[in-house]
Structure 1
């Protein structure tokens, strides 16, 4: 069998990668939340220098940004701006549920859907990229802020952060 025949089409590979990355994002968010649930809530809510004053506010930023990007790739998604302002336990639940919703939606996208260009016009930028680019942006953004949360946790005295690297997920956690 030739290498060309054994290699899946680019479109199928792209669909696999986007689905796997969305599943990874859900797993990583849940792993981080489950770790944070073991910590005293008063410490998790304490201010720590970062982009956002607290871990909870950073989690809200993650979930609201994921909701925004879901509304970009899914025309049926309902999002009109930041609306969530729950307590810590509600924030934990919402991040996990929304990450699952995002992963489940990405699972429904066909290769042609992923390549479909979608115009985004907002106060900060305008672009017209394929949906897979927006999915990658969303997942990368969440990864960035999960890293900040680990650093904030370290500054608050948490020394046992979980491993949430993409390769760890692929090798050990799937």
Structure 2
């Protein structure tokens, strides 16, 4: 598998996992979404906002845009808007990152604090989202939301894609 194929698969997985998680969250109560806990980010809502903001930040870095133009204002109790922006961001990543050539993926890119290859930064964004999706599931379980929790593993993504291909 080429680097381009690997990155394309992972970035599609990231969007799929974001969709699965947020579809489930949209069936959750406001208490689960907004209750503060002793987690990295105080609530599921704030964790989603961090994920959304990070996706847009790294998009600007990876596409060599302008990180200074970003609006990272916290949206108070606006989960629907946050979910919409998170999904729009991960879809935008699919649309853009899957078009990069092998050479573009291997190119060095400067972030505000370091220089790495474009594919390193893309993998970081995917790993970052996976980390926080896990935190969200844990917060939800702690708050008593234990039914219909979606599986968002990379392997589950493969099974889902295989099932859809057979339909």
Are 1:133 and 2:124 counterparts? no
Larger radius of gyration: 1
1:169 to 140, 157, 162: 157
1:109 to 95, 100, 109: 100
Shift of 1:80: 3.3
Q: Partners of 1:103 and 1:140 in 2: how far apart?
A: 15
Answer yes or no: is the 8 Å Cα contact 1:49–1:152 preserved in 2: no
- TM-score between the two structures when normalised by the length of structure 1: 0.85
5+ residue gaps, structure 1, are: 1-7
Provide the residue aligned with 1:68 in structure 2. Answer: 57
Shift of 1:71: 0.7
Alpha carbons of 1:79 and 1:107: their partners in 2 closer, same or farther (altered >3 Å)?
A: farther
1:39 to 12, 21, 28: 28
Q: Partners of 1:61 and 1:73 in 2: how far apart?
A: 18
Alignment of 1:150-169 (within 5 A): 150-160=137-147, 161-169=149-157
Answer yes or no: is the 8 Å Cα contact 1:68–1:79 preserved in 2: no
Shift of 1:78: 6.0
- TM-score between the two structures when normalised by the length of structure 2: 0.88
Provide the residue aligned with 2:89 in structure 1. Answer: 98
Shift of 1:127: 2.1
Q: Partners of 1:54 and 1:147 in 2: how far apart?
A: 13
5+ residue gaps, structure 2, are: 163-167
Shift of 1:172: 2.3
Shift of 1:114: 0.1
Count of residues in correspondence between the two structures: 159
Provide the residue aligned with 1:52 in structure 2. Answer: 41
Q: Partners of 1:29 and 1:89 in 2: how far apart?
A: 14
Q: Partners of 2:161 and 2:136 in 1: how far apart?
A: 21
